[in-house]
């Protein structure tokens, strides 16, 4: 058939009827006919289109694309780029929808979805794409292509029986978006030839296995696929499955089992076609009841196969499945054509060692600080090299890899060819036979193996034959297929999650550097992800001097960035991250508590009760920065003997023995401010450590941005420590994504934050805690974060101040506008202000004053101020007292006075000792970790009378239980509200907004005081004392505060200089 190419673009623009002149721009809800004459099948439409979703109405679907069908839109195909509501979180996607006789059809009796490739395409706002829609009597095929022609996504429906859709028109349409159509071509080309149908999934039902009936019993289980399973009667039993595959294909073996086991993993053995058994977890420690588990990749040839399974007594097997694995996705065209600015130099070694660094490395072997690591190194190099085996299968063994690594390292430094040959031969054998189990995070073990193989390749390069080079390269790439990030490495985000650990930053990058001469493609792909995605995103974050992943995961993820940076520093002499990176380690220094634990921040898997140690990350922080204090912290944690034994080669490469360690914390400022995008503040009264320390420490969060993973929904939260944890996060980390994790631990309710409870609110995950939006989107680029504040932003930093002495401030103030952290349908305005007061009082060393101004969308949405504690609180009329102590330690006390809501409008409830896991209509089960926190208490403070606008004002006295309590006095002055307590006066704007309105107050009799006036617009102000001008003061942008030393018994009035001048005129 002759092709009929119809180039469109010379017709009248119209919406809904007529034809459109191209380019055409559609806004809001609109359509434009692109081809007026009836379009008959087969047809292929290619349009160039760019879609920009509207910023308003975040809870609506938005789209731009094509309609191919009848003008009444009752028969035809929709194909568009779409965006889900913000609450759905996984925003961008591609959609192909059939409409038949006015009904929308997905996969059903009429049509089958036969191709679904990258339908969750993260298409970019305003960027042009080619939308190609082809249709005939057999179905439709929708493809999204880059302007270069690269296929980005494909959806294909095939009718189960041929369907004759009526002739129609080609129409561009948009819903709540701006859609620009710049080109369109319509031809009678048929649908593209479909790809070969994938291999079919194979189901091996337990009841179909061969087995000794006397050794198994049939067990009913309603969640199983056929309602029954098989369980050994004794300790273990063997099942034999026979099955046939119709083609050569890689399959994923999965199991569906049930078990009463709790908190320990349960293994089974699997033997394919007579091979040695392979041990796999079928029931992980965190699972309860029943579930599926991925076991292993099996490359199978066409034909008949036998699988033998040895089940332990505690396992009931439902079935096994063999699911065909799709081909590994191709790397994006932009990555394949990438030209990195930094490339590996010619010659070897170049991975962590270079000809220029080797002389200094040899000298370092003689430094006393390195003696232990050198001794371990030589012991490893002399240890016998016998591949680790279990049941006849080679398995991962860290010490075996260290022994190989030690030989390669010493060859690079000392030239002993025997050591090089031993390392090469052992590595080849190991790569050819090693089998990794499926225990959670096994990707880290796979990566370590690739890393050591890369070192052998690079450091022993001159001793390798071409065949050995090819063998090592093939072995590393084969292992890479089973890593989480995959190979090519594009299955995970590299700015978040496991993709931001060693997989790219050490393992694949090391391989890419080592093999660059023979194959530059791996380096090109790694460099693209590092320089175009990871580095820009982390430079954006490191401006804050804080890490999104908090107390436990933060050091780990940051450590891999440091390893990456030092790899490039050694290889090229260049720094790849900004200078802000060196500030980040001080986040964990300031989180350090007097008992040498850390405040919990984000997911925390360490048990409480012992000093916090983070090993390799502490070393890398010092090694990268050369900071004496960070070296002192590494040594204080006992890192030297550990690292000398656990990773002697990396220690000898990165260590800086010439740096003298310091443990002088006393020279550090007492308050650390962390600017946006992780706006927060940590304030303390001193740097004393140990059981007798009287240092109080408070963390205050303003509006940190959120990019999911291990972060919590805790904008505006605070924590307090004095002698023991007093105000804490009572959620703990069990297993990521499980019911407890998403319904409680990561939510707002276990934090010291604020709830606004709408009983009908729906979150992106199960459970309504009344808290902040659940951020469930994990971005792949920082552009996605910046372009979607409706997802990732929790608000803005409104003000911050520490003074008058920045190193030893009397006041530390931070304020966040955090309404954006909550769903817009329930929260209209919300500002939270913190003022930490360091008192010159050994019994009560500090105060924390918290002011909340909240406006909800409806009065009946009740608001709750949260106070979460380990110890049971004592409730008083308008106060809460909490006393807590560490084992064998002295008690500390938190005394909280509620000034707003006032006493006659105040309701206080508390729940604990396990009952804190019940809230509103939810109940969760505690994972087996951090039992101290699992018995924590939640106190909820709320106004009795429903109102859209509410204010909370709390004064928290931090100190000794025996200390006399300061009276806290509430006062108002026009648009201001304030508190007088101890020797301090603090004021806030009633409506939470900065203003130049005057402030007036009288200082109580007694000693002189310090007054901090917050929420002031920048500008000049006049201070009046007893009606007379005393001085002029300038309020600066960003701080919004005015600090005044004031005298007892005097009345002060502070007015804007502009208003003062107006009054004089």
Active site residues: 498, 553, 710
* Sign of CA pseudo-dihedral 546, 550, 551, 556: negative
Q: How far apart are CA 494 and CA 564, in angstroms?
A: 13
The first and second tokens of residue 997, run together, are 């309105």
Count of CA atoms in the C-beta half-sphere (13 A) of 266: 29
Which residues 6+ apart lie within 8 Å of 140 measured at CB? 68, 77, 79, 96, 98, 133, 134, 156, 157, 191
Q: How far apart are CA 175 and CA 26, in angstroms?
A: 9
What is the residue-wise DSSP string for 669-707?
A: -SEEEE-TTS-EEEEES----STT---EEEEEE------
Count of beta carbons in the 10 Å neighbourhood of residue 641: 11
How long is the chain? 1065
Give the angle subtended at the CA of 913 by the CAs of 834 and 821, to the nearest 5°.
Answer: 35
Q: Is 1062 helix (H, G, I), strand (E, B) or coil?
A: helix
The first and second tokens of residue 145, run together, are 């292509």
The first and second tokens of residue 226, run together, are 């056929």
- Identify the CA nearest to 664 among candidates 626, 636, 624: 636
- Phi/psi for 740 (5° steps) reads -60, -40
Count of beta carbons in the 10 Å neighbourhood of residue 925: 12
Q: How far apart are CA 402 and CA 377, in angstroms?
A: 9
Q: How far apart are CA 626 and CA 656, in angstroms?
A: 7
* DSSP label at residue 1058: H
Q: Is 135 helix (H, G, I), strand (E, B) or coil?
A: strand
The first and second tokens of residue 80, run together, are 């568009």
Count of beta carbons in the 10 Å neighbourhood of residue 850: 21
Tokens 């919004």 -> residue = 1040
* DSSP label at residue 499: G
Tokens 């010159």 -> residue = 840
Q: Do 788 and 820 form a contact (C-beta atoms < 8 A)?
A: no
* DSSP label at residue 333: H
- Identify the CA nearest to 933 among candidates 770, 733, 738: 733
Which residues 6+ apart lie within 8 Å of 392 measured at CB? 276, 277
Helix axis angle, 615-625 to 553-572, nearest 10°:
40
Q: How far apart are CA 172 and CA 20, in angstroms?
A: 9
* DSSP label at residue 173: E
* Terminal C-alpha separation, the chain: 89
Q: How far apart are CA 533 and CA 493, in angstroms?
A: 9
Give the angle subtended at the CA of 134 by the CAs of 132 and 139, to the nearest 5°.
Answer: 140
Which residues 6+ apart lie within 8 Å of 904 measured at CB? none
- Phi/psi for 389 (5° steps) reads -130, 150
The first and second tokens of residue 856, run together, are 């909800």
Give the angle subtended at the CA of 69 by the CAs of 66 and 70, to the nearest 5°.
Answer: 130
- Identify the CA nearest to 987 among candidates 1041, 922, 1036: 1041
What distances in angstroms separate CA 663 from CA 93, 629, 1002, one per listed residue?
52, 6, 45
């Amino acid at each position: 058939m002759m092709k009929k190419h119809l180039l469109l673009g010379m017709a009248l623009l119209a919406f809904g009827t007529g034809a459109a002149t191209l380019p055409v721009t559609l806004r809001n809800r609109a359509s434009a006919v692109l081809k007026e004459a009836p379009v008959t099948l087969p047809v292929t439409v290619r349009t160039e289109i760019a879609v920009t979703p509207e910023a308003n109405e975040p809870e609506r679907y938005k789209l731009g694309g094509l309609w191919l069908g009848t003008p009444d839109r009752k028969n035809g195909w929709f194909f568009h780029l779409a965006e889900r509501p913000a609450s759905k979180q996984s925003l961008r996607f591609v959609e192909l929808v059939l409409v038949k006789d006015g009904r929308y059809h997905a996969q059903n009796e009429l049509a089958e979805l036969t191709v679904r490739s990258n339908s969750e395409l993260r298409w970019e706002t305003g960027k042009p794409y080619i939308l190609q829609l082809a249709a005939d009597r057999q179905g439709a095929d929708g493809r999204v292509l880059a302007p270069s022609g690269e296929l980005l996504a494909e959806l294909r429906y095939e009718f189960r029986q041929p369907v004759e859709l009526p002739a129609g028109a080609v129409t561009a349409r948009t819903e709540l978006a701006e859609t620009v159509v710049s080109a369109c071509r319509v031809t009678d080309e048929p649908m593209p030839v479909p790809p070969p149908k994938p291999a079919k999934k194979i189901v091996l039902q337990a009841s179909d296995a061969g087995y000794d009936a006397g050794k198994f019993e049939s067990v009913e289980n309603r969640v199983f696929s056929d309602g029954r399973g098989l369980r050994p009667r004794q300790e273990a039993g063997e099942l034999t499955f026979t099955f046939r595959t119709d083609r050569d294909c890689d399959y994923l073996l999965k199991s569906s089992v049930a078990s009463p086991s709790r908190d320990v993993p349960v293994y089974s053995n699997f033997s394919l076609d007579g091979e040695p058994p392979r041990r796999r977890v079928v029931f992980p420690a965190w699972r309860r009841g029943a579930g599926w588990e991925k076991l292993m990749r099996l490359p199978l040839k066409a034909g008949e196969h036998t699988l033998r399974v040895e089940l332990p007594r505690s396992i009931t097997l439902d079935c096994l499945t063999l699911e065909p694995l799709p081909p590994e996705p191709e790397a994006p065209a932009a990555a394949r054509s990438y030209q990195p600015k930094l490339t590996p130099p010619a010659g070897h070694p170049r991975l962590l060692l270079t000809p220029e660094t080797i002389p200094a490395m040899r000298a370092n072997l003689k430094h006393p600080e390195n003696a232990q690591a050198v001794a371990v190194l030589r012991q490893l190099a002399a240890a016998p090299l016998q591949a680790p085996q279990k049941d006849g299968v080679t398995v991962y063994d860290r010490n075996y890899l260290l022994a190989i690594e030690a030989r390669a390292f010493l060859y690079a430094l000392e030239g002993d060819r025997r050591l090089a040959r031993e390392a090469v031969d052992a590595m080849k054998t190991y790569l050819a036979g090693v089998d990794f189990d499926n225990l959670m995070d096994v990707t880290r073990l796979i990566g370590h193996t690739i890393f050591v193989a890369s070192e052998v390749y690079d450091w022993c390069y001159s001793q390798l034959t071409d065949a050995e080079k090819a063998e090592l390269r093939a072995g590393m790439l084969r292992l890479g297929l089973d890593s989480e990030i995959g190979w090519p490495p594009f299955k995970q985000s590299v700015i978040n999650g496991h993709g931001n650990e060693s997989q790219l930053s050490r393992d694949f990058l090391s391989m890419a550097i080592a093999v660059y001469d023979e194959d530059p493609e791996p380096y090109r792909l790694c460099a693209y992800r590092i320089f175009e995605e990871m580095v820009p995103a982390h430079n954006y974050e490191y401006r804050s001097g804080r890490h999104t992943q908090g107390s436990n995961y933060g050091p780990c993820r940051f450590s891999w960035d440091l390893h990456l940076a030092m790899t490039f520093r050694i290889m090229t002499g260049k720094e790849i991250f900004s200078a802000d990176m060196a500030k980040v380690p001080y986040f964990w220094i300031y989180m350090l508590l007097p008992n040498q634990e850390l405040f919990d921040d984000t997911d925390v898997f360490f048990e409480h009760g012992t000093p916090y140690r983070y090993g390799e990350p502490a070393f890398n922080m010092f090694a990268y920065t050369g900071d004496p204090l960070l070296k002192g912290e590494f040594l204080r944690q006992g890192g030297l003997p550990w690292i000398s034994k656990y990773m002697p080669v990396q220690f000898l490469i990165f260590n800086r023995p010439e740096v003298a360690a310091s443990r002088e914390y006393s020279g550090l400022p007492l308050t650390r401010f962390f600017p946006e995008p992780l706006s927060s503040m940590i304030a303390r009264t001193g740097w004393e450590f140990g059981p007798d320390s009287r240092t109080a420490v408070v963390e205050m969060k303003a509006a940190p941005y959120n990019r999911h993973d291990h972060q919590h929904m805790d904008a505006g939260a605070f924590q307090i420590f004095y002698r023991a944890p007093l105000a804490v996060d009572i959620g703990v980390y069990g297993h990521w994504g499980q019911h407890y994790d998403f319904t409680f631990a990561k939510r707002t309710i276990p934090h010291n934050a604020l709830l606004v409870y709408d009983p009908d609110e729906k979150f992106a995950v199960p459970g309504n805690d009344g808290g902040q939006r659940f951020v469930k989107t994990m971005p792949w680029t920082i552009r996605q974060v910046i372009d979607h504040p409706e997802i990732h932003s929790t608000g803005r930093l409104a003000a911050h101040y520490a003074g008058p002495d920045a190193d030893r401030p009397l006041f530390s103030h931070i304020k966040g506008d955090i309404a954006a952290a909550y769903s817009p349908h329930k929260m209209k305005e919300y500002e939270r202000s913190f003022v930490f007061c360091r008192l010159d009082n050994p019994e009560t060393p500090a105060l924390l004053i918290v002011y909340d101004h909240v406006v909800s969308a409806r009065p009946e949405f009740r608001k709750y101020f949260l106070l979460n504690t380990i110890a049971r609180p004592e409730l008083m009329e308008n106060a809460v007292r909490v006393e807590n102590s560490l084992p064998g330690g002295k008690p500390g006390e938190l005394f909280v006075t509620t000034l707003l809501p006032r006493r006659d409008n105040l309701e206080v409830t508390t729940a604990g000792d396990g009952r804190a896991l019940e809230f509103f209509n939810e109940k969760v089960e505690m994972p087996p970790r951090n039992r101290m926190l699992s018995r924590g208490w939640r106190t909820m403070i709320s106004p009795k009378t429903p109102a859209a606008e509410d204010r909370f004002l709390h004064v928290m006295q931090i100190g000794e239980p025996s200390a006399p309590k300061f009276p806290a006095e509430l006062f108002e002055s026009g648009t201001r509200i304030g508190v007088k307590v101890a020797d301090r006066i603090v004021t806030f704007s009633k409506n939470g907004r900065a203003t130049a309105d005057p402030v007036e107050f009288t200082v109580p009799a007694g000693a002189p005081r310090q007054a901090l006036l917050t929420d002031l617009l920048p500008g000049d102000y006049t201070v009046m004392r007893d009606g007379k001008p005393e001085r002029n003061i300038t309020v600066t942008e960003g701080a919004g505060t005015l600090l005044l030393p004031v005298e007892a018994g005097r009345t002060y009035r502070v007015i804007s200089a502009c208003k003062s001048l107006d009054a004089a005129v």
